[in-house]
Amino acid sequence: MTARVVIYLLICSLLRLMWVIEQPSSSLLEAHPLFAWLCSKISVYKVFIWMGAYGGDSPKPTVLYSNYQFIYKLYCPLPKGKVFEAEMSNKYVDSSGQLRVSGGSDLKMSQHYPERFGIAVFELYMDHRKQIMKEVKNNQEALLNGPIRKELKDPCFNC
């Protein structure tokens, strides 16, 4: 699966498309040889966030990877003193005396992104899009007012 993701990210990067990968903080993606190879070929930026800071039912520490540096704008610290009621895990001692951990009753719910996180990503994308459109407009104006355009305006050019 990682190989497919790396190929997808490489293609998106070559096409200058923005991408964001979200992983739980415990993910081993960063240690995968193919992802490390990708990071050696293109700039990959990383930011640590808390889904709980965006209104999630649990703190859910998360890492975001992107090919655009502005991803750091999604950093939002976890509110101090906030109590999370969600039961994400259950700890118990099994019959052999080993401490075990299993998924809690609310774990499945944590798969869904908090609404505020979705809004933050959308706003970040729209800011990026505005910047790109501004650059495109500036480049178009430079082309239209540059030396090539002046040649086209020269009456002798059409002779």
In a domain, 105, yes or no: no
The yes-or-no verdict on residue 156 having pLDDT over 50 is: no
In a domain, 96, yes or no: no
CA dist list (Å): 118 to 34, 54, 102, 107, 158: 28, 9, 28, 19, 54
In a domain, 58, yes or no: yes
Give me the number of domains the chain comprises: 1
In a domain, 90, yes or no: no
pLDDT in tens, 38-78: 999 999 999 999 988 898 888 888 999 999 988 999 998 88
Domain that holds residue 52: 2-82+110-158
In a domain, 133, yes or no: yes
pLDDT in tens, 92-108: 888 888 888 777 665 56
What pLDDT is recorded for position 107?
58
Backbone phi, psi, residue 124, to 5°: -65, -45
Confidence category of residue 87, pLDDT binned at 50, 70, 90:
low
In a domain, 102, yes or no: no
Torsion sign over Cα 147, 148, 152, 154: positive
In a domain, 103, yes or no: no
Give the global pTM. Answer: 0.73
